Each structure stands twice: as C-alpha cells, then as structure tokens.
Amino acid sequence: MTDTLDSGPVLAADGRPLKASLNRALRRQKMRSMMLIAPLLIFIMFTFVIPIGQMLFRSVENQIVSDVLPTTTQMLHDWDASTGERPSEDVFAALTKDMMVAVEKKEHTRLGSRLNYETTGISSLFRKTGRRVDDMGEVYTEQFTALDPTWENPVFWADLVALPDAAAALPQTLAAYASFSDTIISEDGDDPREEQPWNTVYLSLYQDLSAASAADLSALPAEVGVAQAAVGGFETQNLGDAFTKIDKDWSSVEVWETIHTYSPDFTNGYFLNSIDRQKTADGSEWRGEQQQIYLTLFVRTLIMSMTITISCILLGYPVAWLLANLPMRTANLLMILVLLPFWTSLLVRTSAWKVLLQQQGVINDIVVWLGLVADDNRLALINNATGTIIAMTHILLPFMILPLYSVMKTVPPTYVRAAKSLGATNWTAFWRVYFPQSVPGIGAGSILVFILSIGYYITPEIVGGTKGVFISNRIAYHISSSLNWGLAAALGSILLAVVMLLYWAYDRIVGIDNVKLGG
Amino acid sequence: MKLTTTLLASTAMTLASSVAFADGHMANEMTIVSWGGAYSASQQAAYHDPYAANTGVTIVNDESSAEAVAKLRAMNEAGNVTWDVVDVVASDAIRLCDEGLALEIDVDTQLADGDDGSKASDDFGDLLVSDCFIPQIVYSTTAGYRTDLVGDTAPTTICAFFDTDMYPGKRSLEKRPINNMEWALLCDGVAKDDVYDVLETEEGQAQAFAKLDTIKDDVVWWSAGADTPQLLADGEVVMGTTYNGRLFSLIEEQKQPVAMLWDAQVFDLDGWIIPAGLSPEREARALDYIMFATDTQRLADQAKYISYGPARASSAPLVGKHATLGIDMAQHMPTDPANATNTFLYNYEWWADYRDDLDAKFQAWLAQ
Amino acid sequence: MSNTGNDGAFVEFERVQKSYDGENLVVKDLNLSMPKGEFLTMLGPSGSGKTTCLMMLAGFETATHGEIRLDGVSINHIPPHKRGIGMVFQNYALFPHMTVAENLSFPLEVRKMGKSEREEKVMRALGMVQMQDFAGRRPTQLSGGQQQRIALARALVFEPELVLMDEPLGALDKQLRETLQFEITNLAHQLGITVVYVTHDQTEALTMSDRVAVFDDGRIQQLAPPDELYEAPQNSFVAQFIGENNTLEGVVKEIKGNTCIVQLDNGDIIDAIPVNVTAVGERTKVSIRPERVEFDKGRLQADAHTLKAEVLEFIYMGDIFRTRLRVAGMDDFVIKSRNAPDQTRLVPGQQIEIGWLPEDCRALDA
C-alpha cells in the first residue's frame, strides 16, 4: 500500500498498470454476465420496452393530419379563425386535391375518426365528402375537353407533363398529375398512359393557366396556348360553396379550427384531453362540466387503490404473522388457502362475489335473517365502490401476504423475547420491536398491491358499477372500443408518471432500501 | 466457453423463432373470429361444419369479437393479420371500414344471389350499412321483466323502466349511451322520428340525461350480455335490457319466470368482415367461405339454433323449428310482425359521429 | 405470596418437568437451588434440556409440572416482562432498527423512567462494557464482540438481580471468547448479580462458573464446582463429557473400602476407586484422565497394577505431548505428558507399561 504514495501507478506483474489490468479482467467478467442475461434482455426489449415506448410515443404523435392533408394544412397556416370566415378558395382547392388522393388511398375516413375525437361530426363529414369529392372540378374538365378533345387523351397528358418546360409553366398541374399517377399506380396498378386524369388535374391546369402569361407557355404544345386564351371565359366553380353543399360543416369555423389546431406532427392535445381540458387555437381551456371525467377518475383510482392497499395490510398482516409463526405443516396448509384466489378463474370468482354480495345474496340474506338490517333496506355491497374494494382486496391479498410472510419469516422470535425479557408488554414488544422490522414487508406488499390495483380494470368493470370504476377502465375503453389510442396512451403515461411520483415520494419518506420481498 | 456458446445460440433462436412465427399460418386452415358461447355454437353447426365438410378446410375458432377492432388495428400495424373472417356488430364494421382495416365487398358479385332469384344487394337491402359489412343476423336489444315481481299490471312499454312508482325495484341497463339515450327521449315525449335531431343538440342531450337521472339510483349497469339474464334469474332486478337471444334462452331453455317486452326494441346487425391485408390466397378463401355462409339456406339454418333473425329477406320463409327444443322459431325472432309492432331504428351514421362525444358525457354523468 | 423455598435459595427449581408433545419429557424431574450471587452454568449436549430450563426460568416456556421460584416467590404464572430477569441471547437479539443507545434505553423506557435518568443509566451501562463511543451506532455497524458487549449492557442496564445468558459467546472466535469470558465473570462478581449461563462448551463452563450443572437426557447428571466436576465425575457420562478421558470396560472383582480391583475384558487387572459400583461382579467403566497416566515405573507405587501398551502415535502439541496407545485391545487410549526437559518422547511401535495412582482411576457405572 505504501508504494502508491511515492511512485506512479501500481504495475501488475506483466508491467501494465494495475488499474488497466483490473479493468480488463472486470470487463471480461461483465461481458460474460451480459451474455448470460442477453436472452432475457432481448426478450424484454421486444415484448416490453419497445411496445411501451411506441405506446407512449402515440400520446403525442399526430402525423395523420398532415400526412393525409399535406397541402391543405400548409395553406391553412395563414388562415385566421378569429375572422369567423371559412378559409379561402385556395384552401378548398388544396382540400379537393388532398381529399382526392386520400379517398383513393382510403385514408380520409381514418382521418375523420381521428378528428372526430376532437370535434363531433367530422367522422361523417369526411365519409360523406369522400363519396362526392371526385365530382369536384368536373366543370373544368368538361370545359377543357369541350374546347379540344385532345385534353381527354391520357397519352397527351403523360407527354405534356414530361416536357422539360412544363415544370416552370404549370407547377400545380404537374403536382396534381404526379399525385394522380402515383396513386393509381400504387393503389390500382393502373397505367397513367391509359387513364384520363382526375378532375383535380384539370382544376390545377385552370389555376395555372389563369395565372400564367402567354410567354411562359411558348415552349409547350399549341393546345396549351389555345386553352390559356380560353380560360378567361370559363365558367368557374366556387369550391367552398360546393363543399358546403355536400355538408354545411365545411363552412363551420369550428371544423376548420380543429384541422388547423391539429395540423402539427406532434400535439399535446391528448394530454390536455386526459386532464379534462381541450386544445384551442391559442392554448387550452377546461371542457364543459358535463364532459369532465378523467381528473375525477384519476383521483378516485388513487384513493380507492390506497383503500385497497390499506385493507390488504389490515387483513393480510395477521395472516402473514400466523403463517410465519405456525408449525410448517399447518403453515403450508394455510398458505394453500392464501394462494387459492390465484388458482380460480376470474369467472368463478366473479360468480362467487355476485352470489355473496348482491342484494339477494348470501351476506345480505344472513344480515337480514339476523335482523341487523331491514329486508327492504338491504346493503349495497356490489356494483359500487364497496364491491370493487371487496373484490380487489380479495384478489390482491396474496400479493400483500407473500412479501409480508417472507419478511416476517426472517424476523427471529428472539427479538420479541428479548423485548419481553427487557420488560415490554406483549403490545409494546410487538409495536416497538416486531412491527418496525416487518415494515419492509409492508412496503413491498403495498407497492405491489397499489401498482397492481391501479392497473386493474376487469374486476372494477364487473363489480364496480358506476362509482367503482378506475381510470384503467377508460384506458381499456379507448384501446379496445373507441380506438382513441393516443388518448389511451396519454392517460397511461400520466398514470405511469403518478406511480413514479408516488414511488419517489415513498423513497423519500420511507426509503426504498426499506423494501424487502424476503430474507 | 461452452455455456456462452449455448446462450448465444439460444438468443439467436429466440430472435429467429419470433420471426418464424410471423407467418405461421397453415396452408389449409382458416381462423374465424366470433363471440363464443351459444352464438358461436350456432355458427359452428350452421356454417363451419358444412363448409369444412365440403372443402376440407380446417376452421380454427377464436372468440375475440369483443376486442376485434382493437386487435385488427394492432395486427394491421404489425403487418401480420392472422384472422381470415371476423364476426362483428355493424357499428364495429363501420369503424373498421373507416380505418381501412376491412376489405370492401362488391355485394352483387361476391355474395350469393337469393334463393328466390333476387340479387344479393336487394336481398340484404337496407342492412348493407357499410361497404365492408356482410350482414348475417338481425338481433335486437330489448327488455325482459320478472313476471312475479312486477305486480298485477305487466309492463307493456319500454317506459316502464322510467316508472319507478308503478314498478319499484332495480332495473338493468347497458353501461353505454347507445339505446338508453334514445329510450329516455322517447319516454320523455319526443317523437320517434325526431329522436336523433333532438339528441344532436346540447339541450336534447341534457333532456335525455335528466330523464335518466330520475332512475339513476335504481339502475344496475351491465357490460356483458350475460349480466341481465343472471340478474333477472337471481331476482336482483325486476326488469332489464339485453340481446333478445339471451332472453330467449332464459325463458325457453331455463324456464325462468321472465317475459319479453318487445316494445321499442332496437334492431342491430351482426355480420362478417374480411380483414384488409390478407394474402391473395387467403382472401380468396375467405370470400369463398363468406359466399357459402351467407347464402339463403345457411342463414335460415342458423335460426334453428339461436333466436336471431336471418339478414336476408329470402331466408325468412325458411326459418323452421329449434333444433333441440322443437319450438317454432319464427315467433321468437325480433323481426316477427307480432314482436315488431313498435321498433326503433338505430342510426349507425349518427352514432359513428356522436359516440366519442356522448360516451364521454355519459361516463361523466355516471360518475357524478 | 408465600415463601415456601429453602432459606437462602434465590433461584429454585422444584420437581420441574417439561413436555412439548405430551409424550416425551424434555426435562425430567429437575431440582436445582442456587444462592444469590452465584454464577451457575448449565452445560450439556444439544437436546439435553438446558435451554428449555433457561426458557422456563425466563418465562418463555411454561413448566408442565413443578414449581420455579425466584427469591422465594413462585414465578410459574408471572409473564416474562414482569419477572425482571435480564437476558442475553445467543445471537444477541439487538434490535436492528434502533441505535445502541436506543437499545439500552428500551428497558428503561418501558419502565417509564425519565429521560435524564435513562441517559445516565445508559451511559453507565455502556461504560461497564467500554462502549461509550458507540452509542449512536446501529447494531449492524458493530463487530460480533461489540454486539455481545452491547447485549450484555442491555441485559444489565435495568439492574436485574438475575441475568440469564443463552450461549452468548457461541458465535465468536476463540480469542475474543476468552476475553469476554473473563469480562463477564468479572462484571458479574463486581455487580453481585446472580447468573445462569447456558453453554455446550465445557472449557467455558469450567473457567467461568462457581458451579456447573451437567445436563443430559433431561436431568442434571452432576452439579458441582468445576474442579470437583473434572476430578471427581459422578458417572461415566460426566466423565466422558468433561475433559478428555480414557475408558476401559471390565468387571468388578473385589471391593476393599475405598479401592477396588477391576478385571478388564482382556483379563488384565487394574486398581480403581469405586464411585458408583457397589457389588462384586458388576460391570463397570473405568475412567482415567490422560494426564494422570504414568509410563515411568519409578513414579508408580510399588504394588500398582500395570498394563502393557504399544505406542501407536506420538503428537507434538507444544506445551504437551499427546500419545495414542493400544491398551487392553483398544486403540484409542491417550496419554498426555508435559513438555519438560526430562520428558521421554515415545516412539511409535515402542512397547511400554503404564500405570496410575488408584485414586485417579474411577470405576463408574457401565
């Protein structure tokens, strides 16, 4: 030890620095243990970390709006909702083109469902519009083809857009044609040289020609010049009115505001919804009182989970103590009884609870027979919060008993004896000496029970009625019924954060090293 | 180092097997998803068994219809659809179709014509509520009551649910806004044709909730179809709503003192969809199965096992007696003229829009 | 309460029996009486009933039959916490969630003692075991020896008159044990407390105690001061159990007053004192301590009987030599001789004759 003081780094036998040698030896050891756990690690990565990560990502992800309506959302940037006016004709033209592609790709209904979570009615608005959008701009198609039948010819079109000068002269037409050809190739496997372009292409052509000067078009086929001369006299279509004719909601500022608000690729809208607020153009506001539910449910979930945890402690502690102190044979038998709930199916348990707890059930029959309550005033023990607490306490009791038992098993009986020999009464010996040593078991059991009960949703659904359901029931509903996975993910993330927060608080108050699952 | 080698090998195997599972579908096997219980049994007898006998295809049953929409979406995102044909209610079919998760069907070319020569689109008629949906049965959400617990005057209208003076005791209703909101308005004096127009407004929704408020303390809310029959059998409730087939078996098979209250029954549809994204062979086989299982005779056959009405008009005359009870089934069908004197039409399109909003409001109302 | 005990007896067991299962007696008819201030050790193999006796005295087990008296008062029905007996446990049983000072303060707290008085007593008790500097530590931060000292201090802090110790040094290394043995006895005598000490280590028992009770099979085999126990064991169990011992089996040939002649099974004749043999012809186990065996004929009485022996093994052990012999057909006869300059070192294979003083050879029960 002394030579570290006077010389430089200590050297190993082979002359390398001792530290480096040690590190190398340790690294090899670490590599080996890494390889030992690799199968589990990979398993967890694929079955747990990645899916949960994806799920959490959904709580902010919102690309569907800008994916399905790329130009519309871009054009909508400059729209000011506060004017109370629907967006300009340019926006409706962009909407026509975006919708045409979306309908072909069958994406518009998905977008409709997505936006319907925010504003009721958008689902059917998009579905209805989808059926009629291919008529939009037909008036231009008819006028172009009336002017010159060449405009009907797919080959003429394909050649026109391939010309090097077309890009500068007819930018919108080219973009619309590209959407058209890409879509029919990918969706239907058709050849653009055999299909007449969509009305949106003619609409774009009309827009381009109206804006262009004759000089710009000089390098293009003569038909273009002729058409350009004619468009000034074309009958026009007010697209805004046309959409409004399909559904009056297209003139509603609220609908456009929703599209505008949810244009960005990422949104905090789901999180706002999760705390009973809603996203508005400039910030957020509380939802109407009759729609507020999530905060209530979060609070209820936490309070009821704590109640369940406390009931489990009260019921489980004596049982665990008995288990830890009885002779092995009796204890094993008792342990089987404790574990029995694990072995029965949920269906059996549910029926058992109903038979026991319902108003015409066994418990009520007994208390009525004993004269404790009147026959017409039977206790409500199920389909309410009481039912949830009873059933969940029953299910989760083993999760409290097992860690308590294994911790109590490690508390030697001599401690209590020592306390008694020192003059403590039975109660003092228990409270001052035995109980503090079983606290790690209570901690572990409580964390287990609390976290499990926060996540339970089947049991509350079955026995909880209306007042005994948890936030997890809403998460399950949004996952499997409403398909609002973004909201479910946001609710789940908040729940996760709350659990982490409680865990942190527990660590600060009790200390996490004070948690033991056993010896 | 041998151990390490083994471990590395097993790691590789884990990866490989998860990839290998990706398309573990056997060549001559198809997975059909339905609801389980007596309903699946009726499909097994009426459709699966004869189809398997004709074609040699092995049919694997999966009872996941309740979570079908979510699972299909998850499968679609994972790019590995393992189901071939899925039995869903019409509203789910609309949702799946909207999400692009179900295959669109060309009714007249891909479904069989009726026995009476009618085209499929005419035979199914109005029941074709979505481009992806192939109707199978008409069922109704309707009410039943305990004959021994309602006093001398048996209830005759759905409004008995809201009359706690005349019929004291608990009643069971489904824990969702659909149907309950409509019934509340009907019993609050709104004309049948105006129900959805009224429900579209804030005031109309408030009116429906106010009506439901009058019985809120007397309601046991159910979420599984088996709940109400059980509650009725135990005498926990005096009346309750559920699917008509459940009440049929409670009354006719279990002989409980319960009677049907067909008034204002809400027709709903159940049928097939084919998931989008199947390989061409599997899609062709699924279509072949659908063509067979929804023809006139097959739909009529199913009614021998369960009291749900066949979705084709041409099947109605073929409905016979119950396979084991020997009862004439026609009079137990929700569509039977005697039962259908006052029916309510469920508006799919409307609910597709309002479901998210009203469900949130309904849950908030329940929690108050 | 009536004083029914013997005068001067502080702890008394009278006809105490204990059974756990109702079939077997763990403690059979125990009678014991010890005066105030005595240091008594209960020594015996495991399962001999010594710990059960201690637990009955502490109040953690109830006697099935008989009476236990403390200072003349029957304590059979007094719960442990009212007996006022200090106790040191095998694994110290220091409360892990309390500091050293809190551990010591605990018995004073439950006696509702004031804070300043408590602190003073705690520091005094810590002083007795030289552990004042550790008051704020947790038990897990202490070494085994330190924990033992704290356990001792805790048992003494509320000034009990009787202290029970249940194999308190069992988990310590040899050197530490010896130091603590010394400290414990010193402390006990200094404070004038009565100590009942349980151990299975005979050296510990011999070095520490005023009297030792040797337990076997639920009974006290012998209750005597250490020297008497070693030199005059009353039966072959005690002889075997205490110290090293050579046993030869044979038949009593003749009894003359306080000597007898025993014929060993191979026919050899030896002298012995009859301890619990009474009649000629009785089988006996003759016990001789290894250090009392002589092989130098000059040191034996002229008429002493001697036995032929063959040296099998010679072990040099520093202060002594240990030699294993074949005697009377047995291969495990051991003799010990002091390592002195004039001492003979025996060589394996050597034929010698051995003998002893008749009073060192005790004819015991077979």
Yes or no, beta carbons of B235 and A360 under 8 Å apart: yes
Yes or no, beta carbons of B99 and A484 under 8 Å apart: no
Question: What pLDDT does A4 receive?
Answer: 45
State which residue of chain B sits closest to A295, comparing Cα positions: B364
Question: What pLDDT does B27 receive?
Answer: 66
Task: Answer yes or no: is B324 within a domain.
Answer: yes
State which residue of chain B sits closest to A124, comparing Cα positions: B353
Q: Are B76 and B68 in contact (CB under 8 A)?
A: no
In Å, how far from its chain's centre is CA B1?
A: 59
Task: Answer yes or no: is B133 within a domain.
Answer: yes
The set of chains that have 3 or more CB pairs under 8 A with A is B, C
Q: In the 8-state DSSP scheme, what is residue C135?
A: T
With helix as H, strand as E and coil as C, how does A41-96 read?
A: HHHHHHHHHHHHHHHHHHCCECHHHHHHCHHHHHHHHHCCHHHCCCCCHHHHHHHH
B357 shares its domain with B237 = yes
CATH code for position B76: 3.40.190.10
B101 shares its domain with B205 = no
A331 shares its domain with A435 = yes
Amino acid, res. A385: A
CA distance B131 to chain A (A): 12
Question: What pLDDT does C5 receive?
Answer: 45
Is residue A198 classed as helix, strand or coil in its secondary structure? coil
Task: Answer yes or no: is B227 within a domain.
Answer: yes
Question: What pLDDT does B284 receive?
Answer: 94
B150 shares its domain with B210 = yes
Mean pLDDT of C128-147: 92
B290 shares its domain with B202 = no
Chains A and B touch, contact meaning at least 3 pairs of CB atoms under 8 angstroms apart:
yes
Q: What is the CATH number of domain C244-365?
A: 2.40.50.100
Residue B261's domain comprises 143-267+340-367
- Count of domains for chain A: 4
The strand ranges marked E within chain C are 9-19, 25-35, 39-43, 65-70, 73-74, 86-88, 162-166, 194-199, 211-216, 219-224, 246-256, 259-264, 269-274, 283-288, 307-316, 320-327, 330-338, 351-354, 361-365
Q: Are A360 and B232 in contact (CB under 8 A)?
A: no
Task: Answer yes or no: is B183 within a domain.
Answer: yes
Yes or no, beta carbons of C60 and A420 under 8 Å apart: yes
Structure-model confidence comparison of residues B15 and C274, the more confident one: C274
A336 shares its domain with A430 = yes
A183 shares its domain with A218 = yes
Is residue C295 classed as helix, strand or coil in its secondary structure? coil
Mean residue pLDDT across chain A: 89
Question: What pLDDT does A7 receive?
Answer: 57
What does the alpha-carbon distance between residue B339 and residue B331 come to, in Å, rounded to a whole number? 8
Q: What angle do CA A476, B225, B46 make, to 5 degrees?
A: 110
Is residue C280 classed as helix, strand or coil in its secondary structure? coil
A480 shares its domain with A416 = yes
A78 shares its domain with A199 = no
Is residue A190 classed as helix, strand or coil in its secondary structure? coil
Q: Which of C80, C84, C89 sits opposite A414 (nearest CB)?
A: C89
Question: What pLDDT does A281 receive?
Answer: 79
State which residue of chain A sits closest to B354, comparing Cα positions: A120
Task: Answer yes or no: is B189 within a domain.
Answer: yes
Mean pLDDT of B29-35: 94
When the candidates are 3.30.1490.100, 3.40.50.970, 3.40.50.720, 3.40.50.300, the CATH number that belongs to C9-236 is 3.40.50.300
Percentage of residues in chain B having pLDDT higher than 90: 64
B250 shares its domain with B201 = yes
Task: Answer yes or no: is B3 within a domain.
Answer: no
Which of the four pLDDT bands, split at 50, 70 and 90, describes residue C304?
A: confident
The set of chains that have 3 or more CB pairs under 8 A with C is A
Q: Are A254 and A119 in contact (CB under 8 A)?
A: yes
Yes or no, beta carbons of B7 and A35 under 8 Å apart: yes
Task: Answer yes or no: is A291 within a domain.
Answer: no
Question: What pLDDT does A341 receive?
Answer: 77
Q: Are A412 and A419 in contact (CB under 8 A)?
A: no
Residues of A with CB below 8 A from B206's CB?
290
- Count of domains for chain B: 2
CATH code for position A421: 1.10.3720.10
Task: Answer yes or no: is A500 within a domain.
Answer: yes
B168 shares its domain with B262 = yes
A77 shares its domain with A208 = no
H/E stretch holding B61 reads strand B58-62
Yes or no, beta carbons of A422 and C154 under 8 Å apart: yes
Q: Which of B8, B14, B230 sits opposite A35 (nearest CB)?
A: B8
Q: What is the pLDDT of residues A110-121, one digit of tens each?
A: 999 999 999 988
Cβ burial, residue A409 (10 Å; 0-12/13-18/19+):
middle
Q: Are C206 and C230 in contact (CB under 8 A)?
A: yes
Mutual orientation of helices A122-132 and A253-261 as an angle, nearest 10°? 100
Q: What is the pLDDT of residues B269-304, one digit of tens each?
A: 999 999 999 999 999 999 999 999 999 999 999 999
B116 shares its domain with B147 = no
Mean pLDDT of A51-78: 91
Which of the four pLDDT bands, split at 50, 70 and 90, describes residue C6?
A: low
Residue A42's domain comprises 3-58
Question: What pLDDT does A5 receive?
Answer: 47
What does the alpha-carbon distance between residue A145 and residue C321 come to, in Å, rounded to a whole number? 129
What is each CA distance from B134 to A176, B119, B127, B187, in whole angstroms? 36, 14, 9, 33
The strand ranges marked E within A272-328 are 277-280, 283-286
Q: What is the pLDDT of residues C26-85, one digit of tens each?
A: 999 899 999 999 999 999 998 888 999 999 999 999 999 999 999 989 999 999 999 999
Mean pLDDT of A410-428: 92
The yes-or-no verdict on residue B8 having pLDDT over 60 is: no
B283 shares its domain with B347 = no
Residues of C with CB below 8 A from A426's CB?
81
Q: In the 8-state DSSP scheme, what is residue A275?
A: T
Question: What pLDDT does C70 receive?
Answer: 92
Task: Answer yes or no: is B22 within a domain.
Answer: no
The set of chains that have 3 or more CB pairs under 8 A with B is A
What does the alpha-carbon distance between residue A498 and residue C285 come to, in Å, rounded to a whole number? 79
The yes-or-no verdict on residue A3 having pLDDT over 50 is: no
B59 shares its domain with B101 = yes
A304 shares its domain with A169 = no
Mean pLDDT of C183-187: 92
Chain A / chain C CB contacts < 8 angstroms: 67
Is residue A151 classed as helix, strand or coil in its secondary structure? helix
What does the alpha-carbon distance between residue C27 and residue C63 come to, in Å, rounded to a whole number? 9
Contacts of C29 (CB under 8 A, 6+ apart): C15, C16, C17, C66, C219
A126 shares its domain with A74 = yes
B37 shares its domain with B176 = no
Question: What pLDDT does B15 receive?
Answer: 47
A325 shares its domain with A459 = yes
Show the tokens assigned to A208. Answer: 């381009």
A254 shares its domain with A337 = no
Question: What pLDDT does B285 receive?
Answer: 94
Residues of B with CB below 8 A from A482's CB?
355-356, 359
Tell me the domain boundaries of chain C: 9-236, 244-365
The strand ranges marked E within A199-298 are 277-280, 283-286
What does the alpha-carbon distance between residue B263 and residue B260 come to, in Å, rounded to a whole number? 9
CA distance A408 to chain C (A): 14
Percentage of residues in chain A having pLDDT higher than 90: 52
Chosen from A63, A359, A365, A375 to mutate, greatest number of chain B CBs within 10 A: A359
Q: What is the pLDDT of residues A253-290, one digit of tens each?
A: 999 999 999 999 999 999 999 999 988 877 888 988 88
A365 shares its domain with A413 = yes
Q: What is the pLDDT of residues A65-112, one digit of tens each?
A: 999 999 999 999 888 888 888 999 999 999 999 999 999 888 999 999
B108 shares its domain with B198 = no
Question: What pLDDT does B16 receive?
Answer: 46
What is each CA distance from A424 to A152, A409, C65, C86, in whole angstroms? 103, 22, 27, 12
Task: Answer yes or no: is B10 within a domain.
Answer: no
Show the tokens assigned to A435. Answer: 């109980």
Helices (DSSP H) in A326-384: which residue ranges?
A: 328-343, 346-357, 362-369
State which residue of chain A sits closest to C163, comparing Cα positions: A421
A192 shares its domain with A86 = no
pTM: 0.82
Mean pLDDT of A186-205: 90
What does the alpha-carbon distance between residue B150 and residue B101 come to, in Å, rounded to a whole number? 47
B164 shares its domain with B306 = no
The yes-or-no verdict on residue B189 having pLDDT over 80 is: yes
Question: What pLDDT does C171 receive?
Answer: 81
In Å, how far from its chain's centre is CA A243?
A: 33
